[in-house]
Each structure stands twice: as C-alpha cells, then as structure tokens.
Structure 1
C-alpha cells in the first residue's frame, strides 16, 4: 500500500508539471485522497511495530503520531536528546498531524520526505510466525531524503536535514512458553517453539540526520524499560556511510597490492618482448627470478589443460577437490546467512528428504580435504625419497609455510582493510563490527595457523580452523613418515597404532563428556550444538580421515608404476561397499536431524557415529582413489579425472579462503532480507563460486603462484618437480 502511495505521488507530480494549475483545483476537491488512513505510510507504520511491541491498550488511532512511533522509530524529546534533533522530529510530526501543511510540502514544493521517511521504515511483513522478524525497511529510500523547507505562511518552521537510516536490534527477554508442556513431549515443544513469537527483531527506521545514534538508543531504551523487550544495539548510517573509518592500513594495503601487480605485470611485459625477440637464453639468466612472477605465466598455469596422463598425477583428485569445493560452498551458503534470512523458522520445510541431509552434512566435504592432504603429503615425500634417495625435511616445512601463509595473509589483510568499503547495506555495520573487526585484531591467529584454538568470534576467517588443524597434523606427520622411509615394517606398525588412536580418541571423548555429533536441525534439548563443534575443530577430531589419507598415499606409492590385478567381482564389491558406507554416513542420521519429527539420539549411536563416521568416510574415499588410479574406476574415473576440473582444482585453496568472505560481505551488501530454500541457495551458490573464483584468481596470481614459483626457481628439489602437473598439498 505504501509503495502504491509513492507511485501515485510521483504520477501526481508529473501531471502537475504538465497540466499547470488544473491539478490543484482537483486536489482541493479531494485533498490528499491517496493519503487517507489505509494508504498513509505513517498510518501503516503506526499500526505495525508499535502495536506489536507496545501494549495494544496504549495505542489509540486518534492520538498524535509522535506519541505512537516515538521511542520506536524516532527519538522522543527529553533531556538527553540534542536540541536540533528535537526540533526536526517535532517538525516532522507536525507535518504528519496537519494535512494542509503536508499537502503544501508535497504538492507545491515537490518534496516527498514526509512520505518517504515513514515509507522507508521497517514494518511487520508476512510470515512473522515463520521467523520473519527482520523488517529492514528500505535504506536507500531513507538515505535519499533531502528536506529543505523555509519558514513561510504555510510552513511555520525551517527544516534542512538528510535522512539517516538505522537498524535496531531488540530482544524479547520473556522466554517462557505459553503452554505447559511435559519435558518428554519434544515434538509438541518444537511445534510450540515454531509458532511462538520471534524472540528478536532487527527493524529499520529513518530519522533526521541531526539526530545521533545515541539519541535513538536513549529513546528506545526508555520506551522498552520494564517490558519484555530490551535494546541490544543500534547502527546508523547516512548516504556517505560515516561509520567507515579510513585509516593508514587501507592505504598500506592498496599500495602493497599496487606494487605487487606492477611487478607481475611488468614481468609479463618483459616476457612478451623476450618471446618476441626470440631470445630464450634470457629466461635462464638473472631475469628468470623476475620472469617466474609473470602474470601471463601464472594465468597459463591456472588454465592450462593437460590431456596427457602423467603416471605421477592422481587424476581423480582434481574432480574430488573441485566437487568438494562446490559442496562446502553450497553448505556455507546456508549456515552463514542466518542473520539476514526472513524465514528461519521455516527450516523444517527443507529438512526431510535425502537432498537436505546431503547439503547439511557438508562437513564431510572438509574431511575429503583432510584425506587428500594426508594422501598428497605422504605420496610426495615417498616419491621424493624414491627419486633422490633422501628427503629434505627442512624444505618439507618451508614449502608448507610458503604454500599456505601468503594467501591467508592476503585474504586476512583484505578483510581487515578495504573490505569494509563494500558494506553498503543495512546489515553492513554489523558485519563490520562482528566479522571484520576480528580480522583487524586477531589476523595473526589465522596467519600463524592456530585459529582453531580460538572461539568463533575471535577468528578472522571462520573456515581458517581447517588450515590450522590440517597444518598441525602436517607438523607431526614426519613422526610417521621417517620410519616409513627407512624401515617399512616399523613404519607401518607405527602408522597402524596412530590410526587406531585417531579412532579411539574421538570415541573416548564422546563417551566421557557425553558429546553429540553436530546436526544442524537437531533439537537443542537433544543435541546441544556446542558440544561437538569445538572437538571437531581440533586436530584429534579430524585425525582419522587425515591418517587414512596417509595410508592411501603409502598404498599408491607402494604400487607406483606397478600393475594391480583384481578380479571383477572384487572391484564390484569394493564399489558397492564404498557407496554403501558413504550413503549410511550421509543419510543414516536423518531420523535425528529433522525438525518435523525429532527422535532422541542414543548415546551409543553418538559414540559410534561421532567416533567412526569421519574415518569411515575417508576409507570409502581411499577405495575411490585407489580404484580410479589403478584402472578400476570406469566411468567414475572418467568423470573425476576429466581435464575440465583442472582450473578449479588449482584454484581450490584460494577459493576456499575467499568464498566465505564473499558470503560475509554479501550479508553487508544486501538491501533486503533473503528467503531460504534449496533453489535460491543453489542459484546463490553459483554466484558465490563465480565471484569467489574470480577473486581466487587474483589471490593465486598475487601470492600463491609467484611465491611457489620463486621457491622452485631458487631451491630445486629433485623428485618433487619431475611432473608436468605438480601435486598440491592442500
């Protein structure tokens, strides 16, 4: 209705410009007919949030507007409010309460701020009982407001201000249920919780720019004093987004990136002229240390498609890496948007079929990365020992540092500095304080690979717990690899003991502390989400898939260059067992991971699933990789080993780092709340992968590829650089 009013006013304005004074005669006969009660944006706002948040008996239709909306949408005059704000708010209310003044300002002065200010307010929409408790309003409509009225016979005041948009966060402290429910009746309790009124609100308001954020805070706090509601915080912004502080760190980051790009583009230009002059000997001289940084060379290494199969390349890993990246991005698109989703309590509609369980059990995609990391680290070390007769253990660690830290540092510094300039939406200030501020304060935890020991609010990159846990396992891996390179029997016995311990430790922890597997939709009374997440972030929580990967690396190394004979029935049995185990892991917890029909999770299942599921997932992957690499993969190997996966596989690490920041920044860029369903999330995921892929190219050619190319040029490693398509320890 409010939108129709705005369109009507604009049409009236256009007609008035073209038909002279005739329109005014018509308006005199029906003064502001479009501004009557049921089309009036002020009235729509008055009967919205104020009637929900205040006692109905306190609100009367014929009382002054400011008395109703004051303390919710606008500051109310009191001792703590600055004088100019009081005057502008009172003048605004005066216009609303005097139709002739309202008509004069809009129809004669063609200034529509008396209508656009309340029209931009967030009013309750559809689906409140379904979780739609974030009526943001329309920020752009508010910040476009420009009032400029001079005192005259028709308007008894001066008004010069801009619109200031504020997003208000309030919470309902009354957590009691309206009905008495027996504790064992979990289904009824869940149903009641779904239908219960939302316990928080993020609503948007618009006020004159002369009012400060503190003015609105004081007024709202006073309004909700001694009620079930309490103010959490308020974030305001005008068109120039004054909450963004420009500092020397931003300048330093931009200058540093500019210098790096000058170097890599300059190297590409020099390489072009060297090729044009047909002087390849120049590439082997002192200039080679610069030319390896070439932008052209880096782009070629990303998008080069190798059709010939190298026996040292495990082709199927490219498809596994790319598909796991897609899977983890898809799952993150559900988990990172809870604050900007308008149907959170409608999640029960997407928890009851196989697709739901595959999406929301996406943590196993990370276990795929752990598996591949253990596999590649082991395979590379054993190959180096076989090719050169020794292993350079110093470079084993140096390579890891050069492989991971530059790209992490670049991503963290981006988030800590210039990322804030993209936060133009209503939720932007919250993203700035909740997600970007930790990057400014705790970036070193991500860079030093210890962020898995930090809590979620202190971590710069939420997904950096993986790189930390993976690196900690990589740190201790030589304890297993050294025996394998000197005495296979002792090495395998040691590896067996550590692998058994990697299964036993999680089982013991689940049993001793009554931990429950993290299930996204499980009822909190059944599965407290905080009980298993901290365990899963630790290296001992993900050691089993990593060490199964070590077994896979040893197995592939042991049969490197050798044929492995297996009867047809053995291959079929292997694929059937692998598929069955994977399906049981992904779908087996469906009865406990649903909202509509919850089932209590027994302790025995918690211990078995929590302790063995990740290792069992890796065992199924071991079969897939071994069968594909040794000729038993059939169409699976054709699919996973296809060259089309190569570019995304090479960019997987950079994409893993940047896609989550892209989603976080998307929260701060959205102007309207999102609606969650599988189709929307699929489309959004395609966008995140595309944008994340473009940014990953930038990260890769700015940090990852140049650093590794310099390492290869300065410190050649026999046995590690023998293949056309080098392996990556992800």
Structure 2
C-alpha cells in the first residue's frame, strides 16, 4: 500500500495550508488597476460612516455632537452610503468585463453553473459572518448586550434567508446581518443580468451582436431609472409630516424595507456599470481617441454630478429637500444614477489613459491589499463595530474622536478579515472548485 497521496488528496490537504492561503492575499491581482483604489476607498468610506454612527449612539455631549454633524467637515462622512452604490457599479462593470468572453454560448443549460459560481464566491465569508453574529452572546457581554440580542435572534431564525440572498424580500424587517442586504440585491441583479449577456462574447467581432447587447443594456438601464422615478413619486417615501390616506407609506420602516433595500431602486447603478463594463470589453487592448474638449467636458460633468450628489447630504441642503417634496423625490430617484454615471466615466477615463494623476493615485500598489480584503471587511466591520457598544461604555463625539475610532475599527477589521480569508474562504473555495469546473464533453 503506497503512502503517497493522490493528486486530489494533495489538493485537499493544500486547501488548509496557511502558507499557501496567506500568499493568495499578496498575489498580484489582474484586471483594471484603478479598480483596486475604488474598491479600497469605498470600503473605508463605509467603515468611517459606521464608526460615526456608533460613536454618536451613546455620546455624552449631545449638543456638540449636533454641531459637529451639521458642520462643514462632516457631510462627507454622512455621504458614505454612496459607497454602496459604487460597489454596485463595480459589480456590474466587472461582471461584463470579465465574463463577456465566456458568455457567447450562454444558454439555459449552463445558466445554473453561471449562478453557482457567483453563489460560491459569496458563500464562505457570508456563512462565517452569520455564525459570528449567532454566537455573539458568547463573545460580548455588558449592560447593553440585551439591545444587540435582537440581531442574534434574527440570525438564528432567518439565517437561511441571508444565505439564499432573499432576505430583502422575504423578511426585510427581520434581517440577519442588516448590512448584508447589499449581497441579496447584488445576487438578484446577477440573476437578471445573465439574460442580458447572451451573445455579448461575440460583440467584439460581430456588429450585430454588439448592437443587440448595447440595446439590451441600454433598455435595462432606462427601465430601471424610469421604474425608480415612478416608485419614488408614487409612494412619497419622505412625506412623514402630512396627513394623507397613504400616510403608512411614509413610515420609517416602510422607507427602509421598500425603498432602501429595494432591488429595483438599487438597480440603475448596476446596469450603468454593466454598460461601462461592456464598453471597456469592446475596447479591450485598444484606445478610444477622443478630442481634448470632450474629455474635459466629461471630466467637468462627472465632477459636478459627484459634488452635487454629496452636497445633497449636507444638513442645510437636506432642510431644503424636506420642504420641497418633488425635489426630494427627484433626489431619491436620480442621485444614485448621477453618482454611477460620474464613477463610470472616471473608471473609463482611467482605463483609457485619460485619468492623469487620479489614475496614478487609484492604481497605487498600497490599495491592492485592502481591495483584496474589501468583501470580508464589508461583512465583518459592522459586527465588530457594534460589539464595543454592548459593553456599556459612553462616547465623546468630535472629529478627532471619530478619526481615532475609525483607525481602530479599520485595524481590527483588517485583522479579522485576513483570518477569515485564510482560514475560511480560501480553503472552502479550493474544496468547492471541482463543482465549478465544466464537465468534459470529450469522448474516448
């Protein structure tokens, strides 16, 4: 009997190699270099937003907190929710850019494998985060631990809806890991997007296929924007001060469950990202020569759009929207579309050589490590940020305290994310890899 392991057994054992899995974190990633900077900055933006929310939760200086939040320096932090829309743009863009060449023969027979690849990509770390939240009573204790016990109960009751990516539809008010709504929406958009990619792989050589794909993506983006507009103006989500027969629509709970977590409302940035991704795929290894005036015009338009969307989060601007409901409906319906257009152009410009110093900054090697951890950081950061508040400590809120809290939250999140990837994600991906390989059609 030989003592040598078979190749399959060797691969199984290597899946648990700390040396091998750690090297995966430092491997040079391929793809579009500027996207590493976008991904890293987006996840850090989300962490500092959540740090500020937790720091304000039990602050002892309420008056100073109100002044700081309404100040000029804080509105950038309060606009951190836009980073989620950045992730939708990046997800749609990379879906097309990396998959278009593989979808020429996409049909009903291989759609399950297409979906399975995406599901397996998200499953290991999401399952680890669910287990971590369900086990939180054994990790955290304090005077306010009871306040966080509801999240534990929700994960023990509705863990299945989180892992199946349906919780924003099935139990939107009883979510396990409230911030994981993004993954549910993203997975649902991936299911729909597969139908739009039929024939996209032949678009580089076939003008008809290219036209059909452009038409499908453009129609999907326009339909998503139109549906969002109709949705916002019909339901009037922010109208909480008026007596009306539909006042129930304006409740905060309805706003979160039917607007903020809504797949239709969140879809425009994803489809816009798909359009930019398809443009980059068609122009892969080629450069689109544009006149300088058009480049500067697009740069200026992207800058104006992004600044307007962020300034809309300033307390003074919010007061204007609160008194002008039609303007507020337009903001809710179109702000994410404008942000996606600005971000999409910036990515396109950087990739095509028109990004200048912005492309240099976003392509720095220092972003690559954080970008590799971004998915894990998004999942675990909110859990880790909530735990200290369960111990019953009080907070003092100001900008300096916020920066210290952010640095600590980011450092702990990075450490936990590295451990989760090395010990959970990498081994499971290796073990599940045989399920994702296409079956051989070769006949001897």
**Deviations for 1:125-157, whole angstroms, at most 9, x for unmatched residues?**
xxxxxxxxxxxxxxxxxxxxxxxxxxxxxxxxx
In the alignment, what sits opposite 2:128?
A: 410
* Residue number among 421, 429, 434 corresponding to 1:708 in the alignment: 429
Q: How many angstroms apart in 1 are the aligned matches of 2:269 and 2:120? A: 24
Conservation of the 8 A alpha-carbon contact between 1:324 and 1:366: yes
Which of 353, 371, 377 in structure 1 is aligned with 2:95? Answer: 377
Matches within 5 A, 1:262-661: 286-305=9-28, 313-336=31-54, 339-344=57-62, 346-385=64-103, 392-417=110-135, 419-431=136-148, 433-453=149-169, 458-485=174-201, 487-516=209-238, 529-530=252-253, 532-534=255-257, 535-590=259-314, 592=316, 600-661=322-383
Q: Distance in 1 between matches of 2:117 and 2:437?
A: 12
Distance in 2 between the 1:517 and 1:568 partners?
Answer: 45
Distance, in Å, in 1 between the alignment partners of 2:227 and 2:235 is 12
CA 1:593–1:667: 2 relative to 1, 3 Å: farther
The structure where helix makes up a greater share of residues is 2
Deviates more, 1:477-486 or 1:501-510: 477-486
**More deviation in 541-550 or 562-571?**
562-571
Name the CA distance, whole Å, in 1 between partners of 2:154 and 2:57.
18
Equivalents in 2 of 1:691, 1:442: separation in Å? 27
- Once the 2 structures are TM-superposed, how far is the Cα of residue 655 of structure 1 from its aligned partner? 0.8
For residues 607 and 416 of structure 1, do their structure 2 counterparts lie closer, same or farther at Cα, with a shift above 3 Å needed? same
Q: Deviations over 1:100-138 (max 9, x none)?
A: xxxxxxxxxxxxxxxxxxxxxxxxxxxxxxxxxxxxxxx
Does the C-alpha gap of structure 1 residues 538 and 338 become closer, same or farther in structure 2, counting only changes over 3 Å?
same
Could you tell me how far apart the structure 2 residues matched to 1:365 and 1:376 are?
16
Higher mean Cα deviation, 707-716 or 611-620? 707-716
Other-structure match for 2:244: none
Take 1:502 and 1:355, find their aligned partners in 2: how far apart are those partners?
Answer: 34
Conserved in 1, the CA contact under 8 Å of 2:272 and 2:340?
yes
Q: Tell me which stretches of 4 or more aligned residues in structure 1 moved more than 6 Å.
A: none
Q: Per the alignment, do residues 421 and 546 of structure 1 end up closer, same or farther by CA in structure 2, a change over 3 Å counting?
A: same
Normalising by structure 2, we get a TM-score of 0.86
Q: Displacement, 1:435?
A: 2.3
In structure 2, how many angstroms separate the alpha carbons of the residues matched to 1:661 and 1:675?
21
Distance 1:456 1:493 in 2: 33
Distance, in Å, in 2 between the alignment partners of 1:355 and 1:338 is: 16
Is contact 2:56–2:395 with CA below 8 Å preserved after alignment? Answer: no
Aligned length: 419
Query: Per-residue CA shift, 1:462-498, capped at 9, x if unaligned?
Result: 2011101111111111121115346332222222221
Q: Which stretches in structure 2 are left out of the alignment for 5+ residues?
A: 203-208, 241-249, 440-444
User: Counterpart in 2 of 1:246?
Assistant: none
1:29 alignment partner in structure 2? none
Q: Secondary structure at the match of 1:463?
A: helix
RMSD: 2.8
Q: Which residue in the other structure is 1:681 paired with?
A: 402
1:515 is paired with a residue whose SS is coil
Aligned-partner SS, 1:362: helix
Please report how far the alpha carbon of residue 316 of structure 1 lies from its aligned counterpart in structure 2 after TM superposition: 0.8
d(CA) in 2 for partners of 1:517 and 1:373?
Answer: 32
- Cα drift, residue 531 of structure 1: 5.4
Is the contact between residue 306 and residue 342 of structure 2 (CA under 8 Å) also seen in structure 1? yes
How far off is 1:620 after superposition? Answer: 0.5
Larger radius of gyration: 1
Give the structure, 1 or 2, with the largest relative contact order (CA under 8 Å, sep 6 or more): 2
Residue 394 (structure 1) shift: 3.0
8 Å contact kept, 2:102–2:201: no
1:665 to partner: Cα distance: 1.1
Change (3 A) 1:435 1:286: closer
- Cα distance in 1 for partners of 2:431, 2:177 equals 27
Contact map agreement 1:410 1:703 (CA 8 A) in 2? yes
Given the superposition, is the C-alpha separation of residues 714 and 409 from structure 1 closer, same or farther in structure 2, using an over 3 Å criterion? closer
Q: In the alignment, what sits opposite 1:14?
A: none
Superimposed CA distance per residue, residues 478-536 of structure 1 (whole angstroms, 9 cap, x where no aligned partner): 12111534633222222222111111111111111122399xxxxxxxx9644533312
Contact 1:375 1:549 in 2 (8 A): yes
Q: Distance in 2 between matches of 1:375 and 1:360?
A: 26
Shift in Å, 1:603: 2.3
Q: Which runs of 5+ in 1 are unaligned?
A: 1-280, 519-526, 719-730
Post-superposition offset of 1:618: 0.6
Could you say what secondary structure the match of 1:542 adopts?
helix
Distance in 1, matches of 2:44 and 2:127, equals 23
